[in-house]
Structure 1
């Protein structure tokens, strides 16, 4: 007899306490291997695939797609330890149940590296056969073990579901329950030692029918009431104007909820201030075009404007380290950080995320650009790990890609500053004493006034602007 093991949502690290089910990767009845990913979940940090430490047959899943579960809540149950069988038919030839062992791993991304087994679904007609039943042939065949439950979709909060094997002997009882969508785990058997009898299933079917009838009646009553409400609202409104429609409510969870919490905390805890300056980016754009036009063995990949601005930021932070710091409020200390881990804002379908380029102060523009491109692609596909979204010390926000000129960024808590970059566009500009059309960009710096005063923030921003206007200034630090 197979042993049914329960797999719970593991600790996903980074202090995360909950996750939302995005997509199930297995169905009830599938055979899974040890450490095979079984569900894709979204945390406040990233989208991750969760591997199951058990190998066997999936007997139940807990939670619909879109359901938010706390760490430690049941995800699914797996029947393991069943004897392997063979069959005379071509459909199930050479297949069997998985090993009863488990990897013991509970953290996402860790596994034994066992090869994934071919997934197959157990035929429903085989679920109801006794183990001793065999087809009419000269050689006896051992059938697959009886699984414990049909497809059951319940929320984690339901505590009525029992654990362990379901005490049912008759295949007829199992078939009757499955045909009527009755979860045997919810029934208390009236037979010896809690054995579930046909009378118990019949009673559950009658109860379900009565509940369905009452629900349908309540739904019809509600629909009738809602149909009458607009007419009453129009009659009671002045000049027959209909009442306003109900407001839409969108849960703040996942990435959007995490962003909301971080921005609220930043506004609450950080006394921020913003300064800005317009800069002539014509020379920077000319230098970039020359870099990307280079050919031959020494020519590297194309360099983006964002990569050049990121390199300018690391040079500026080396001159003004106050802005590469954080505030320890409990100790009342400013903590200046030894290295620059540069975050950059990236807009995705799941919302705003801030991937982090590690050790940006040790990289040149080409290396920073390559890492930005790699992390951006991971962000767009939802494959960034929590570690790639945390630990930043300074953030660069290029909101110019949205076609806006300026902004007052909110600091990415617990950092001390953020540089915002508007769109680069042709504008009238006084150049060498004459009016000319130049490529102009607005730069804005929002900083934590606890770590520095306006003089330091202004000096940082002015140095960035000087490097944008005269890229040769940056050569001194290369």
Structure 2
């Protein structure tokens, strides 16, 4: 006799208490294996697939795409140990059958690889169709065949864009390699749905995510990533008495050093951000009081022994701050490699919660947006942030003569409870000296 087990949203860790359902990976009646992902969710940190620790038949799903699910709320129920669990429409290793769970509670991780799955065909349904699919018509007729099986999409951002505009990815033909659905494919489909004025005139509703009549206000919920960012920034402004100081620096020599590094042998190219990260770790070694946080409950400044360097990265999901662990122990090349890896993961929406938390100091390169300066809000609960504007050719007095040099504006925002103007000024001046004369760094090597 089958036993029905309930699988709830597991503890996501890092203070996360809820997640938004992005899409279901299984339907009621599907046979699943141990540790097979059953739903894709979006937390305030990343987009992840949640594996089910039970093997059997899905008997119920709870929630729809777009719903917020708190930790501990049921996601699915699975019948295990019954004859349905032995259905021959799924082939999987014997070790992954039966009612024993994997014990895995980490989101996006399991004890083994995902097992291929085929959907069970419901009585009366045509092969290649499913309820609610784009192109399905009443009576089982299909105006546009929709393929079953996994959707050839890599980027979670593509899925999100399609979901927001009411598009079924299974109805699209990808222009990428092996039919991969690209963002351009989704955008073309969105444009096509918006070019149907006759349908609007006749009162025919477009997709749920389609733009409404002009003049209507748009409301964007402050939840998920945007909600967490809003709360952290608001708390920073409420609790931290911040101040900002800035200086212009001649970055010509820094760019020359970078070019020389990249001209030498070695696969890893060094970015300007990696050089600035190296400068930050050297500056924090000289001014360790800035690698700190304030414990307001005990009214103490807590100086931290390790530098976990965060850097701001803009993605389609919003602003995120990946963290380079133990940045003070890494070489410039190692910093460059880690920045590249974390940036790629941030854009794909695959950063883990651990890669987005625990920072002690933040480097903010807002110059990529083409602006010279900024007074950023400190990334709570840190105590300081270095901002870097664009590097641009400007007139500059160099060796007593007017010349065109590559100039950058550096800004330093700090918690005035942690240090005074002398410390903050000393830190920023040291950073500027390293930018203007990279050989200054060699003194501490």
Q: TM-score range by the shorter chain?
A: 0.7 to 0.9
Given that residues 375 and 384 in structure 1 are in contact (C-alpha distance below 8 angstroms), is that contact kept between their aligned partners in structure 2?
A: yes
| Residue of structure 2 in register with 1:8 after alignment | 8
Q: Structure 1's 41 and 86: CA in aligned 2 closer, same or farther, altered over 3 A?
A: closer
TM-score, normalising length from structure 1?
0.71
Q: Could you list the per-position Cα deviations for residues 56-78 of structure 1 after superposition, in whole angstroms to 9, with x for gaps in the alignment?
A: 11122111111111111111121
Greater CA drift, 39-48 or 333-342: 39-48
Q: Deviations over 1:95-118 (max 9, x none)?
A: 9994222224434255443x6444
The question of whether the paired residues in 1 share the 8 Å contact of 2:56 and 2:85 is answered with no
> 417, 420, 423: which one pairs with 1:450?
417
Q: Please list the CA deviations of residues 370-391 of structure 1 after superposition, one character each: whole Å capped at 9, or x if unmatched.
A: 1111111111111111011111
Give the structure 2 partner of residue 120 of structure 1. 118
Report what 2:233 is aligned to: 263
* C-alpha contact (below 8 Å) 1:6/1:76 kept by paired residues: yes
Superposition map of 1:14-413 within 5 A: 14-83=14-83, 98-109=97-108, 111-113=110-112, 116-125=114-123, 245-295=215-265, 299=266, 301-413=268-380
Does structure 1 retain, via aligned residues, the 8 Å contact 2:46–2:350? yes
Segment of structure 1 superposing worse, 3-12 or 467-476 = 3-12
Q: Which string of whole-angstrom CA distances, capped at 9 and with x for unpartnered residues, describes residues 186-245 of structure 1?
A: xxxxxxxxxxxxxxxxxxxxxxxxxxxxxxxxxxxxxxxx9xxxxxxxxxxxxxxxx994
Structure 1 segments unaligned to the other structure (5+ residues): 128-149, 153-225, 227-242
Quick check: 1:29–1:120 contact (8 Å CA) kept in 2?
A: no
Q: Aligned partners of 1:93 and 1:394: how far apart in 2?
A: 50
Superposition deviation, residue 81 in structure 1: 1.3
- With normalisation by structure 2, the TM-score equals 0.76
Q: Is the 8 A contact 2:39 2:49 kept in 1?
A: yes
- Three-state SS of the structure 2 residue aligned to 1:426 is strand
CA RMSD of aligned residues (A): 2.6
Q: In structure 2, the residue corresponding to 1:290 is in which secondary structure?
A: helix
Rate the CA distance shift 1:266–1:93 in 2: closer, same or farther, 3 A: closer
CA distance in 2, matches of 1:320, 1:76: 52
CA contact (8 A) 1:4 1:80 kept: yes
Q: Which runs of 4+ in 1 moved over 6 A?
A: 84-87, 93-97
CA separation of 1:435/1:249 partners in 2, compared to 1, >3 Å: closer, same or farther?
same
Find the residue that maps to 2:83 and give its secondary structure: coil
Residues 12/151 of structure 1: CA separation in 2 closer, same or farther (3 Å cut): farther
Q: Is 1:473 the counterpart of 2:440 in the alignment? A: yes
CA 1:126–1:378 in structure 2 vs 1: closer, same or farther (change >3 Å)? same
Compared with structure 1, are the counterparts of its residues 2 and 335 closer, same or farther at alpha carbon in structure 2 (3 Å cutoff)?
A: same
The SS at the match of 1:340 is coil
1:140-161 Cα deviation digits (max 9, x unpaired): xxxxxxxxxx999xxxxxxxxx
Q: Contact 1:31 / 1:117 at 8 angstroms: preserved in 2? A: no
State the 1:246 CA deviation. Answer: 3.6
The answer to whether the Cα contact below 8 Å between 1:82 and 1:100 also exists between their aligned partners in 2 is no
Partner residue in 2 for 1:219? none
Q: Distance in 2 between matches of 1:403 and 1:93?
A: 54
Q: Distance in 2 between matches of 1:257 and 1:320?
A: 33
Q: How many residue pairs get matched?
A: 360
Separation of aligned partners in 1, 2:410 and 2:2: 65
Q: Cα distance 1:313–1:116, how it changes in 2: closer, same or farther (>3 A)?
A: closer
Distance 1:442 1:60, change over 3 A: same
Structure 1 residues 92 and 340 mapped into 2: Cα distance closer, same or farther (>3 Å)?
closer
Residue 119 of structure 1: SS of its match in structure 2?
Answer: coil
